[in-house]
Chain A
Amino acid sequence: MRFLFKTDYEDDIKLVPHSGYIVSYGILLAFLLIAPFVLSSYLVSQLVFVCIYATVGVGLMILTGFTGQASLGHAAFLAIGAYTAAYLQQFNVPFPVYFLAGGLLTGVVGALVGFPALRLTGIYLVIATISFAFIVEEILARWETVTHGNEGMRVKTLSLFGQAVPQNGPTFYYLCLAILILTIVGTLNLLRSPTGRAFVAIRDSETAARSMGVNVSLYKVKSFAISAAITGLAGVLFAHKLSFISPEMFTLQLSIEFIIVILIGGTFSLHGAVLGAIFLVMIDPFLTYLKDDLPGIIAGIAATFGADSITAGKIHGNVAAIASANGLKGAIYGVIIVLFVLFEPLGLYGRWLKIKLFFQLFPLYKRATFKRQKIYVKSERNR
């Protein structure tokens, strides 16, 4: 194992703590770059969704993971980005302009939401952001001169420097990947800057941050604005990927999916945003797999344990019926959320850290290292 000796503050905030990071992320990047040549077009398309969801995840992570402000309204920010792109595109505005405009506008709206949110904490903030999302959804459905209401808007194929970039081609994938990487690197830099440190201070203890001279309200609004802006940028890509947007795509359900991304990935890490996005996008292919293959597998297992052909057939039928039932995806989401909250609050990235530590300390590893401590809560009401 490697020991890192940090002797001053500069060591503590280095972007690349040691050369191993460059090697491992370089290999990952190489794999991602050759992906369109190796993988099927379906998987590449899923990777594009991973990139978009991960970008939103990074945005939400800044707000929820690093500033500690929960939000269930991020679908609205995504919608604002997407609609800005679709609207500006009608006037032949070039992609870079409406891409940045989408981010900027969403950032401004985010700051506007951030101001009233200053006085709210915990559950009140969650409910306020839900209300905001509902209001945005309704505005999108009613403001027909701009958004075409419930009919939805068609989004033209993206064109970059005069070249058409179809949403299923490899170029679009590279574009999304580039934006994801830029967002991640930008966020990493943000987090090691005074602003990012202030965010984390606010998350850990608002009172302590205030007494250290952090302007809590300013940084909360900043966090909202940055988070919204990143989500808006992802929204532009989202609109292009789907090539059609309508208000009923940006519901509470989508906001909850974003929360699932950061929760399952790991709430306090940027790795978590990416891992969570991979998880969320891959659950659909996994369900298809369940529908197609699982009944056969289970019937096969039953047959090896001595079930006769009629019983095996019955088992096959029952499993197939359950696997293709309508609500299965929701049930799986539900169970997964509950299990992660109960058993792995640090998410997939936390699990990875535990596995890594296990191998690093191999004979000395103690299970109790990560044991949850009992917490007794005092009222948050007089916080």
Chain B
Amino acid sequence: MLDFVQQLVSGIALGCVYGLIALGFVLIYKATEVVNFAQGDLMMLGGFFAFTFIGMLGLNYWLGFAGAVAAMALFGMLAERVVVRPILGYPQFSIIMATIGLGYFLRSVVGMIWGTDDFKIETPFSDGVLRIGSLVLAYDKLSVIAATIILCALLYLFFNRTTLGTAMRASSENMLAAYYMGIPVKRVVSIVWAIAAAVATAAGVLLAPITFIHSNVGLVLGLKAFPAAVLGGFGSIPGAVVGGVLIGVIESMAGFYLPQGWKDVAPYIVLLVVLLLKPEGLFGVHMRKKV
């Protein structure tokens, strides 16, 4: 029983990281119907920025964190301006390929600048543990869970309660109509990319104590975050986090109870089954077809 709870908690913590990356996918998808395959790599780059600020320049953790988030928000806008804006509105396949290219580029350049070793960021949560009875919970895992809940709540409120959030949803439904209604679609898209990159950075920094950051971490985790986003239904913010947690728990349970090898495949098997039974995901909205 204790093992089970322990696995559950570490699964949830891991799942929250997937959920945070999935949040980035969902944000961009919700606002522009673009799927950003480079989301994991944005997270990795954010982690490296934070490592540079905290580990190499010796800034305070929170200051470094904020710096990395700000820098990545700018980078997100830049990436949107250079790579995505010229092909906004073209078939999804083009945009998927462009973001795959962007991801390739980021991975290689980070590998060339910072090297391909593993890096670690010291955080205030690094060492402590919380003991409840005989259950041992590490602070760094709890911090990930807490941060995910806060970010998710903030983004949910943002999308459903603010004018900008409504503008984003409108521009994803029908870009031209949104444009006619006076929504600055281009600026909206760039803000979305900035937010997505910032969320990715938060994920990267929170992740750093759990898995070390290296240039390929974005690819590995990004590919796990896809099932998370799909499971929750692309376009649903709570869905992304729930999907992420499910994937994390499935992975950690499969690693513990099933023979070796199942751990890496189990999320994808679950994903395929969900896609077969409910292609719009668990929280997806089924839209009516209009001709």
Contact = CB atoms under 8 A, between A and B. Distances in A.
Given A131-B227, A382-B289, A259 B97 contact: yes
Interface string A235-270: 000000000000000001000100100010000000
A27 to B, nearest CB: 34
Contacts of A135: 265, 268-269, 272
Interface in B219-265: 223, 226-227, 230, 234-235, 261, 264-265
A376 B89 contact: yes
A142 B174 CA distance: 47
B147 interface: no
Given A128-B272, A135-B265, A381 B174 contact: no
A273 B98 CA distance: 19
User: What is the predominant secondary structure among interface residues of chain A facing chain B?
Assistant: helix
A120 interface: yes
Nearest to B278: A119
B184 interface: no
Given A252-B223, A334-B103, A341 B94 contact: yes
A142 B258 CA distance: 14
A126 B96 contact: yes
A252 B222 CA distance: 13
B161 interface: no
Contact of A342 (B86, B108, B109, B289): B86
A187 B83 CA distance: 34
Interface in A131-176: 131-132, 134-135, 138, 141-142
Contact of A327 (B98, B107, B174): B107
B151 to A, nearest CB: 23
Indicate the member of B105, B109, B230 with the most A CB atoms within 10 Å.
Answer: B105
Contact of B291 (A119, A207, A378): A207
Contact of B83 (A141, A207, A325, A338): A338
Nearest to A336: B101
B201 interface: no
A334 B108 contact: yes
Contacts of A381: 33, 235, 285, 287
Interface in A182-236: 207
Interface in A345-383: 345, 374-383
B97 A341 contact: yes
A44 interface: no
B263 to A, nearest CB: 10
Interface in A322-340: 322, 325-331, 333-338
B112 A337 contact: no
Contacts of A131: 227, 268-269, 271-272
A383 B174 CA distance: 12
Contacts, number: 157
Contacts of B89: 374-377
A94 interface: no
User: What is the predominant secondary structure among interface residues of chain B facing chain A?
Assistant: helix
A252 B29 CA distance: 23
Given A138-B261, A377-B175, A331 B105 contact: yes
Nearest to A329: B108
A39 B262 CA distance: 48
Contact of A328 (B98, B112, B261, B272): B112
A259 to B, nearest CB: 7
A317 interface: no
Interface in B115-131: 116
Contacts of A142: 261
Given A127-B227, A132-B272, A331 B112 contact: yes
A126 B95 CA distance: 13
Contact of A330 (B88, B96, B108, B265): B108
A96 interface: no
B230 A127 contact: yes
A123 B280 CA distance: 11
A207 B108 CA distance: 41
Contact of B223 (A123, A130, A378): A130
A70 interface: yes
A256 B97 CA distance: 9
Contacts of A326: 111-112, 116
Contact of A334 (B35, B87, B105, B234): B105
A122 interface: yes
Interface of B: 29, 33, 35, 83, 86-90, 92-98, 100-112, 116, 172-176, 179, 215, 223, 226-227, 230, 234-235, 261, 264-265, 268-269, 271-272, 275-276, 279, 285, 287-291
22 contacts: A64-B93, A70-B96, A119-B279, A122-B93, A124-B230, A127-B230, A127-B275, A128-B275, A131-B269, A134-B223, A259-B97, A327-B112, A327-B116, A328-B108, A329-B108, A330-B104, A334-B103, A335-B105, A337-B100, A338-B101, A375-B89, A378-B174
Top-5 shortest CB links A-B: A334-B105, A337-B101, A327-B108, A330-B108, A334-B104
